[in-house]
Structure formats: C-alpha cells, structure tokens
Amino acid sequence: MWVRIFCSIFILSLAAIAERDIRERIIPDMWIIICLFSGISMLFFAEAALFIDDDFSLIYQAFRELPGELWTGFSDALLQGFKGAFGVWGIWLFMAAVSALFGQPPPFGMGDARLFAVLSLCLGPMAVLRIFCLSCLLSGLWCAALLALKKIKRKDQIAFGPFISLSTVIYLLSSSHMCFTSLSMLQV
C-alpha cells in the first residue's frame, strides 16, 4: 500500500514538473525534492523492489532476508544510485563545456540535470539511461512534427522536462518490475 502511495506521489510530482517546465521553462527544486523523497521512500519499502531496475534486484533479496541485512541492501542500492547521479552530472558538465566552446547554451538545463540525478538515485543508472534515450527520441519526434508544421524554427528551444517526465512514467508502466502489477490502481 505505501509503495503505491509513494509511487503515485512520484508520478504526480513528475506531472507537476512537466506542467511547470512547459509554462515557465523551469523545474522547481521543490518538485525535485518531492520526487527524491517519494523515490527513496519507495526504495525503503519491501514491495518497491518489484519495479526497480534489474541493477537493484539486490534490494528485493535484502528485504526478504533478516532485518539486520536490510540496511546493507538499501545502502548498496543508494550507492549505485549515487554513482549514476554523479555520472549524470559528469555528462551534463561535459556537454556544457563542449557547448561553451562553440558559444552555445547547454543542450539541457540544470533542472533537467537535477531531475536525471534524482531519477538515477531512485530508479538506478540503467533505468535513467533508458529514460534519457526515450526522452531524446520523444522530443526529437515532437520537434520534427513542430518543424514540419512550421510552428517552431530550427534554432528554437523547447522544454525537455515534459519528455523526461513522460519517459519516466512510460518506463514505470512498461517495466516488468513495476510497483503495481496492474493498472487497477489507475481505475476509478
């Protein structure tokens, strides 16, 4: 039950991030912190391992072991998440440096980088790689459609947060390890 509650909070905060990024082109820290809290809370509960990426299968085992070993599995999962989060920051810094060499702004903003870091911490580095690839694909298709319809110009920028949020929700719903085993939670 708690996992579903925190999963719902996680998804609703992603929706709020998408809405605010579309409207104001900013991802508020408050929503990133809510994502972080709800994601870490999902990790802490035993059922959370049902949707965590394969890299985090050790959490599932840890929650089924003795209580003394519970913290070891949880801390190992967080360590993997921190590695992924620092990887995201490293990639962002590299892309920002390369962009600066050519006098261009970074390809995505600091809010996007913080969101990817939080997602890496909560879902694991391999999940974030999948989410990043899907986000790039979806945003590329969206831009191609807008360019074809002449709604934007080639140099225009779009908000990337909505594509990150949508890709994360798609990942969570399509994952074989999702926190709820059916869509019955979404039905009224």
User: What DSSP letter does each residue of 137-171 carry, written as one string?
Assistant: HHHHHHHHHHHHTTSS-TT----SHHHHHHHHHHH
Average of per-residue pLDDT across 77-91: 74
31-83 tens-digit pLDDT: 999 999 988 887 776 444 444 444 444 444 444 443 444 445 566 666 777 77
CA–CA–CA angle 155, 158, 163 (5° rounding) = 140
* Distance, C-alpha 159 to centroid of its chain: 15
Q: What percent of the chain has pLDDT over 90?
A: 32
Distances from the Cα of 58 to the Cα of 46, 71, 84, 130, 142, angstroms:
11, 11, 16, 20, 37
List the chain domain ranges: 2-186
pLDDT, one tens digit per residue, over 99-115 is 888 888 887 888 898 89
* pLDDT above 70: residue 125: yes
